[in-house]
Amino acid sequence: MRICYISSEVAPLAKTGGLADVAGALPADLQRRGHDIRLFMPYYPQVTGPLELRPIAAATDVAVQCGPHELRFNLLQTKLPGTLLDIYLIDCPALYDRPALYTLDPDEHLRFLLLQRAALECCQRLQFAPQIIHCNDWHAALVPLLLKTVYGWDRLFAGTRTLLTIHNIGYQGIFPASTANTLNLGASLSLLDAADLANGQINWLKNGIVHADRVSTVSPTYAREICTPAGGYGLDAALRARSHPVAGILNGVDYSQWNPATDAFLDYHFSEQDLSGKRRVKAKVLRTSDDATLDLPLIGVVSRMTVQKGFDLLFDTLPGILAQRQLHFFALGSGDAPYENFFASLQQAFPDRVTFIRGYNERLGHMIEAGSDLFLMPSLYEPCGLNQLYSLKYGTVPIVRRTGGLADSVQMWDPATRRGTGVVFNDFDANGVRWAIETALDLFQDKSAWRTLIANGMAQDFSWEHQGGEYEQLYKELLAQEPA
Ligand code: ADP
């Protein structure tokens, strides 16, 4: 199959979250399956490293008219590090040369409109007729509409089907209605949602949900949750109105990056047979070689600090647990002030046992995954979640709330059958998280149960070799389907 894959971030080139991990792994897996896949992303200044960038002559100084704005870009090609996959970078410093991948700047809509227009323009100039255009999140959600309108004349796209994958429905790309003129829709302006326009806005993700041939998301449970008023963030009705149900495909893990036996970020390696390296990593994380300290359980957190991640539940629980029980807690992340302030004050209250590092640090993220005994994800909602999958592989027992992909990937430990891979709580409240953390700390004391629990988790396989096949199947179904 010929596939065009569009993502606003791709690991390891530029990453803020799980989308980059997926975009950096799934396309490479699809290529290994023999598909011709072209990956497009913006050329941010954050993309660094020893890359061999090749300008593509057929797409040099391309002008794209977006309403009153003439945007110009160059196309650069390189290999995605560690793969044989060609990645195309849209080079437009005027739009992408910013301190962060995402901004609140007034031209944010133009930044990602260009990504989509440029990907389609490049398909034309490369004479690449995609059978599938795989659009990820709101940054690429206008492609289905653009194909029906601005590019409707071009037979190159006559056989193209579109798949929109929602990695997080909390982010929708909502812009003022006044930006409609940048879309060049002409008489097709009526294809925009009239109620939204009347409210003065355009919702890109909703637009994609309406116009894509198929919609998918990143776990089966989240696929059901986003079709309900509680989980749909206002888009559940649009999702329910579609003729095909939302497909839910759990994300895979790139075990070439996330494997405790080979992880390039770790000084010590380990496996299920020999966990001694795990204790050495823990010693490094905690900066100690004291055995009594290393015998205490370490709970890790690596996360964006937003309301989605459920840390509110810790405000009234974690200080009490730390006061009563012997454990270490290590959090890495940045985001909204209430969470950063909470973890900072926790560190002040328990300086010997709590560490909070504010920021984004890939290496430390790997070390915390590897060195912790437990990994805490009390999410309010979690489309897929990757850290619980990494945790399982690293012999780090996940404590998760039963939501989205967490529900699909972590099974509650059952002492009777000795099955299960973690500790799972149901209700999003303080009692739920307190019960889960205390249950996990008790389990840690039961060395025989703990050994089995770790082994169960390390034996799980969430590799892309398996999950990629599900996308391949979905693409095949799409090709057999009449356009939406
Ligand atoms: P989300 O996409 O909602 O942020 P995911 O669990 O899907 O959550 O993916 C998060 C990814 O980003 C993981 O690879 C995680 O290790 C990484 N990550 C998040 N915050 C940090 C941080 N502060 N430092 C390093 N890595 C981080």
The CA angle 54-57-62, to the nearest 5 degrees, is: 110
Task: Please give the share of the chain, as a percent, with pLDDT higher than 90.
Answer: 97
CA distance 168 to 226: 10
Ligand 1 centroid–CA 322 distance in Å is 25
Residue 462 DSSP SS3: coil
Residue 484 has pLDDT above 80, yes or no: no
Span 132-148, pLDDT tens digits: 999 999 999 999 999 99
360 CB within 6 A, ligand 1: yes
Mean pLDDT is lowest, of 34-38, 267-271, 410-414, 463-467, for: 463-467
| The pLDDT of residue 482 | 80
DSSP state of 419: B
**Ligand 1: which atom is nearest the Cα of residue 377?**
6
398 CB within 6 A, ligand 1: no
85 CB within 6 A, ligand 1: no
Residues 395, 454: contact at Cβ < 8 Å? yes
| The pLDDT of residue 50 | 87
404 CB within 6 A, ligand 1: no
17 CB within 6 A, ligand 1: yes
Span 63-106, pLDDT tens digits: 999 999 999 999 999 999 989 999 999 999 999 999 999 999 99
| The pLDDT of residue 416 | 97
CA distance 43 to 216: 26
469 CB within 6 A, ligand 1: no
Residues 89, 53: contact at Cβ < 8 Å? yes
Q: Structural domains in the chain? A: 2-252+465-480 (3.40.50.2000), 276-461 (3.40.50.2000)
Ligand 1 centroid–CA 224 distance in Å is 23
Residues 410, 436: contact at Cβ < 8 Å? no
Ligand 1 centroid–CA 27 distance in Å is 20
| The pLDDT of residue 483 | 73
Average model confidence (pLDDT) across the chain = 97
Residue 324 has pLDDT above 90, yes or no: yes
Ligand 1 centroid–CA 50 distance in Å is 24
Across 246-272, average pLDDT: 96
The CA angle 429-400-223, to the nearest 5 degrees, is: 95
Across 357-386, average pLDDT: 97
Ligand 1 centroid–CA 416 distance in Å is 34
362 CB within 6 A, ligand 1: yes
CA distance 449 to 441: 12
Going from the C-alpha of 165 to that of each of 168, 215, 257, 260, the distances in angstroms are 9, 6, 23, 30
Across 27-49, average pLDDT: 96
For ligand 1, atom 9, which residue shows the shortest CA distance?
Answer: 18
Quickly state the pLDDT bin for 432 (edges 50, 70, 90).
very high
Across 447-475, average pLDDT: 96
257 CB within 6 A, ligand 1: no
Nearest to 39 by CA among 94, 92, 79: 79
| The pLDDT of residue 142 | 98
Count of H helices and E strands in the chain?
20, 18
384 CB within 6 A, ligand 1: yes
Tokens for 308?
A: 């989605």
Q: CA torsion, points 355, 356, 357, 358, in degrees to nearest 10?
A: -170
Ligand 1 centroid–CA 228 distance in Å is 26
Ligand 1 centroid–CA 383 distance in Å is 13
355 CB within 6 A, ligand 1: no
For ligand 1, atom 17, which residue shows the shortest CA distance?
Answer: 17
Residues 73, 62: contact at Cβ < 8 Å? yes
Residues 220, 188: contact at Cβ < 8 Å? no
| The pLDDT of residue 40 | 98
Nearest to 395 by CA among 260, 257, 255: 260
Span 329-364, pLDDT tens digits: 999 999 999 999 999 999 999 999 999 999 999 999
CA distance 450 to 446: 6
Q: Choose the residue to mutate in 304, 332, 334 for probing ligand 1, maximizing ligand atoms within 8 Å of C-beta.
A: 304
SS3 labels along 252-302? CECCCCCCCCCCCCCCCCCCCCCCHHHHHHHHHHHCCCCHHHHCCCEEEEE
| Stated length of the chain | 484
333 CB within 6 A, ligand 1: yes
169 CB within 6 A, ligand 1: no
Q: Choose the residue to mutate in 219, 302, 389 for probing ligand 1, maximizing ligand atoms within 8 Å of C-beta.
A: 302
| The pLDDT of residue 476 | 97
**Ligand 1: which atom is nearest the Cα of residue 15?**
12
CA distance 443 to 438: 9
Q: For residue 12, is the peptide bond before it cis, meaning its omega torsion is within 30 degrees of 0?
A: yes
265 CB within 6 A, ligand 1: no
Across 190-219, average pLDDT: 97
Ligand 1 centroid–CA 438 distance in Å is 25
Q: CA torsion, points 430, 403, 399, 466, in degrees to nearest 10?
A: -170
Quickly state the pLDDT bin for 4 (edges 50, 70, 90).
very high
370 CB within 6 A, ligand 1: no
Ligand 1 centroid–CA 195 distance in Å is 35
Across 425-445, average pLDDT: 98
Ligand 1 centroid–CA 148 distance in Å is 35
Going from the C-alpha of 195 to that of each of 90, 143, 154, 198, 227, the distances in angstroms are 33, 21, 30, 5, 20
Ligand 1 centroid–CA 482 distance in Å is 37
Ligand 1 centroid–CA 13 distance in Å is 15
Helix (H) or strand (E) holding 22: helix 18-23
| The pLDDT of residue 381 | 97
Residues 284, 367: contact at Cβ < 8 Å? yes
Residue 481 has pLDDT above 90, yes or no: no
41 CB within 6 A, ligand 1: no
